Amino acid sequence: MNKPLRHIAIFCGLLVLALLIRDNWIQYVRAGELSTHERNKRVTIERYANPRGNIIVDGKPITGSVDSKDPFYRYKRTYIDGPMWAPVTGYASQAYDANQIEKLEDGILTGNDDRLFFDRTLSMFTGDKKKGGNVITTLNGAAQRAAFEGLGKKKGAVAAIDPQTGRILALASTPSYDPSSFAGYSGKDEKAWVALENDKNKPKLNRALREVYPPGSTFKVLTAAAALETGKVTDIDAPTDTPEPYILPHTTTPMKNHAQGCENASLNRAMEVSCNSVFAKLGDQVGRDEMVKMAEKFGFNNGEIDTPVRAAKSVYDKQMDRPGNALSSIGQFNTAATPLQMAMVAAAIANDGKLMKPYMIDHVTAPNLDVLEKNEPEEMSRPMSAETAQLVQRMMENVVKNGTGGKAAIDGVTVGGKTGTAQHGEKNKARPYAWFISYAKTDSGSPVAVAVIVEDSDATRDDISGGGLAGPIARDVMKAVVDSRK
User: Is 74 a member of any domain?
Assistant: no
The answer on pLDDT for 373 being more than 70 is yes
* Residue-range definition of the domain harbouring residue 333: 209-368+378-484
Q: Which of these ranges, 74-78, 80-84, 128-132, 279-283, has the smallest mean pLDDT?
A: 128-132
> Confidence band (pLDDT; 50, 70, 90) for 114?
confident
User: Is 121 a member of any domain?
Assistant: no
Residues 13-64 have pLDDT tens digits of 788 887 877 777 666 666 556 555 656 666 677 778 789 999 999 999 999 9
> Confidence band (pLDDT; 50, 70, 90) for 464?
very low
Q: What confidence score (pLDDT) does residue 64 get?
A: 96
Domains in the chain, number: 1
Ranked by mean pLDDT, the top range of 33-37, 257-261, 331-335 is 331-335
User: Is 332 a member of any domain?
Assistant: yes
The answer on pLDDT for 212 being more than 60 is yes
Q: What confidence score (pLDDT) does residue 14 get?
A: 80
Q: Kindly state the average pLDDT of the residues 296-320.
A: 94
CATH of the domain at 219: 3.40.710.10
- The answer to whether the CB of 158 falls within 8 A of the CB of 208 is yes
> Confidence band (pLDDT; 50, 70, 90) for 301?
very high
Q: Compute the mean pLDDT over every residue in the chain, rounded to the nearest whole number.
A: 90
Measured CA to CA, the distance from residue 463 to residue 158 in angstroms comes to 20
Q: What confidence score (pLDDT) does residue 71 get?
A: 75
User: Is 115 a member of any domain?
Assistant: no
CA dihedral 321, 323, 328, 334 (to 10 degrees): -60
Q: What confidence score (pLDDT) does residue 311 get?
A: 96
Q: Kindly state the average pLDDT of the residues 366-394.
A: 95
Q: What confidence score (pLDDT) does residue 28 get?
A: 64
Buried b / exposed e over 396-430, threshold 16 CB at 10 Å, is bbbbbeebbbbbbebeebbbbbbbbbbebeeeeee
SS3 325: helix
Task: For CA atoms 258, 259, 264, 266, give the dihedral sign.
Answer: negative
Percent of the chain with pLDDT over 70: 89
User: Is 228 a member of any domain?
Assistant: yes
Measured CA to CA, the distance from residue 161 to residue 298 in angstroms comes to 14
Q: What confidence score (pLDDT) does residue 459 get?
A: 46
Q: Which of these ranges, 72-76, 120-124, 128-132, has the smallest mean pLDDT?
A: 120-124
SS3 363: strand
User: Is 334 a member of any domain?
Assistant: yes
Q: What confidence score (pLDDT) does residue 450 get?
A: 98
Q: What confidence score (pLDDT) does residue 468 get?
A: 79
Residues 262-292 have pLDDT tens digits of 999 999 999 999 999 999 999 999 999 999 9
Region of residue 382 (left: phi > 0; alpha: psi -120 to 50; beta: else): beta
Which is it for strands 371-374 and 361-365: parallel, antiparallel or unpaired?
antiparallel
**Nearest Cα residue to 477 out of 168, 19, 124:** 168
User: Is 71 a member of any domain?
Assistant: no
Q: What confidence score (pLDDT) does residue 123 get?
A: 65
Q: Kindly state the average pLDDT of the residues 90-118.
A: 90
- Catalytic annotation, pick one of 217, 266, 446, 465: 217
Q: What confidence score (pLDDT) does residue 463 get?
A: 41
Measured CA to CA, the distance from residue 91 to residue 183 in angstroms comes to 7
Q: What confidence score (pLDDT) does residue 462 get?
A: 40
The answer on pLDDT for 1 being more than 70 is no
Q: What confidence score (pLDDT) does residue 424 get?
A: 58
Q: What confidence score (pLDDT) does residue 69 get?
A: 79
Q: Kindly state the average pLDDT of the residues 297-302.
A: 95
Residues 414-463 have pLDDT tens digits of 999 999 987 755 445 556 789 999 999 998 889 999 999 999 755 443 44
For the question of residue 328 being annotated catalytic, the response is no
Q: Which of these ranges, 122-126, 175-179, 329-333, has the smallest mean pLDDT?
A: 122-126
Q: What confidence score (pLDDT) does residue 461 get?
A: 39
For the chain, counts of helices (H) and of strands (E): 18, 20
User: Is 65 a member of any domain?
Assistant: no
Q: What confidence score (pLDDT) does residue 9 get?
A: 76
**Nearest Cα residue to 174 out of 158, 191, 197, 160:** 158
